[in-house]
Chain A
Amino acid sequence: MAIRTEELLMNIGPQHPSTHGVLRVVVKVDGEIIVDAEPVVGYLHRGTEKLAEDLQYTQIIPYTDRLDYLASMINNHAIVGAVEKAMDLEVPERAEHLRVIVAELQRIASHLVFFGTYLLDLGAMSPFLYVFAEREKIIDLFNRLCGARLTFNYMRVGGVKWDTPEGWVEEAKQFVQHLKKQMDMYHELVTGNEIFLNRVKGIGKFDTETAINFAMSGINLRSTGFNWDLRKNKPYSIYDRFDFDVVVGENGDCYDRYMCHLKEIEQSLRIVEQALDQIPEGPVMGKVPKILRVPAGEYYSAVEGARGELGVYIVSEGKDKPYRLKFRRPSFVNLQLLPKLLVGQSMSNLIAILGAVDIVLGEVDA
Chain B
Amino acid sequence: MEVTKNTANPQEPAYVQFEGFSKEESQELSKAGVLIGTLEQVKAWARSNSLWPLTFATACCGIEMMGTGAAHYDLDRFGIIFRASPRQADCIIIAGTITKKMAPILKRLYDQMPEPKWVVAMGSCATAGGPYVRAYSVVKGADQIIPVDVYIPGCPPSPPALIYGLNKLQEKIRLEAKGKKVR
For the complex, what is the distance from the CA of A44 to the CA of B96, rounded to whole Å?
9
Indicate whether A129 sits within 8 Å of B63 (C-beta atoms), given known contacts A15-B109, A42-B101, A51-B134.
no
- Residue on B nearest A54 in the bound complex, by CB: B134
Chain B residue contacts of A42, Cβ below 8 A: 99, 101
- Residue on A nearest B74 in the bound complex, by CB: A129
Q: Mark B33-66, 1 if CB is under 8 A from A, else 0.
A: 0000000000000000000001111111011101
* A135 located at the interface, meaning its Cβ lies under 8 Å from any Cβ of chain B in the complex: yes
Set B86, B96, B131: member contacting A63, Cβ < 8 A: B131
* A136 located at the interface, meaning its Cβ lies under 8 Å from any Cβ of chain B in the complex: yes
Interface residues of A in 90-132 (CB under 8 A from B): 113, 128-130, 132
The answer to whether A66 and B60 have CB atoms under 8 Å apart is yes
The answer to whether A66 and B59 have CB atoms under 8 Å apart is yes
The answer to whether B71 and A130 have CB atoms under 8 Å apart is yes
Interface residues of B in 102-147 (CB under 8 A from A): 102, 105, 109, 131-132, 134-138
Interface residues of A in 13-43 (CB under 8 A from B): 14-17, 21-22, 42-43
* A189 located at the interface, meaning its Cβ lies under 8 Å from any Cβ of chain B in the complex: no
Q: How many A-B residue pairs have CB under 8 A?
A: 93
Chain B residue contacts of A151, Cβ below 8 A: 60, 155-156
Interface residues on A, range: 35 or more
For the complex, what is the distance from the CA of A132 to the CA of B158, rounded to whole Å?
14
For the complex, what is the distance from the CA of A50 to the CA of B71, rounded to whole Å?
39
For the complex, what is the distance from the CA of A362 to the CA of B96, rounded to whole Å?
10
Interface residues of B in 132-174 (CB under 8 A from A): 132, 134-138, 155-156, 158
Set B64, B105, B109, B131: member contacting A149, Cβ < 8 A: B64
For the complex, what is the distance from the CA of A35 to the CA of B71, rounded to whole Å?
40
The answer to whether A129 and B137 have CB atoms under 8 Å apart is no
- Residue on B nearest A362 in the bound complex, by CB: B59
* B84 located at the interface, meaning its Cβ lies under 8 Å from any Cβ of chain A in the complex: yes
* A201 located at the interface, meaning its Cβ lies under 8 Å from any Cβ of chain B in the complex: no
The answer to whether A136 and B96 have CB atoms under 8 Å apart is no
Indicate whether A44 sits within 8 Å of B63 (C-beta atoms), given known contacts A15-B56, A51-B135.
no
- Residue on B nearest A17 in the bound complex, by CB: B84
CB distance from A19 to the nearest CB of B (A): 10
Chain B residue contacts of A14, Cβ below 8 A: 102, 105
Question: Top 3 nearest A-B pairs by Cβ distance?
Answer: A132-B70, A69-B60, A47-B135
Given contacts A44-B99, A51-B132, A129-B71, 6 further A-B contacts (CB under 8 A): A43-B99, A47-B135, A47-B137, A66-B60, A133-B72, A149-B64
Task: List residues of chain A with CB under 8 Å of any chain B CB.
Answer: 14-17, 21-22, 42-48, 50-51, 54, 62-63, 65-66, 69-70, 113, 128-130, 132-133, 135-136, 139, 149-151, 361-362
